[in-house]
Amino acid sequence: MIHSIRFTCVLDTNVIIPIEIRDLLFWFAHDDLYTPKWSKHIFDEWEDVMRRKNVTENEIKKRIGWANLAFPDAMVENYEVLIEGLTLPDEKDCHVLATAIKVNADIIVTNNLKDFPEDYLS
């Protein structure tokens, strides 16, 4: 499957968690409307949330496996070195910004707008 190279989006954990939003975003990517990107850190957070919601380990592995199978080029690597030089209101979100910088993403798709203010991202 070929994914759009024209519009790249980093998906934050909080838009991957709700199945309705995740499915919609994945369908848009499947239809080549954008290229999804994420990191191991983002998926680790997703795993943690699923565990807190009592999702079985088998189901967690299936969900993450399906995402990686559907979008094999989505996983961003070697972004960690960028984290230290970044500043955001919530330092725990710097890994998302580092992921976006690494792939020169057009946008970060998140429900957490307060921790990604425009003046920090410009």
**Per residue in 70-84, pLDDT tens?**
999 999 999 999 999
Q: Quick one: pLDDT at residue 16?
A: 97
Q: Quick one: pLDDT at residue 87?
A: 84
Q: Quick one: pLDDT at residue 4?
A: 54
Q: Quick one: pLDDT at residue 88?
A: 79
* 65, 66, 71, 74 alpha-carbon torsion, rounded to 10°: -40
Q: Give the residue ranges of the chain where pLDDT is below 70.
A: 1-5, 114-115, 117, 119-122
Contact in structure between 51 and 22 (CB atoms under 8 Å) = no
d(CA 121, CA 93): 12
Hey, what domains does the chain have and what are their CATH numbers? 8-121 (3.40.50.1010)
Contact in structure between 89 and 119 (CB atoms under 8 Å) = no
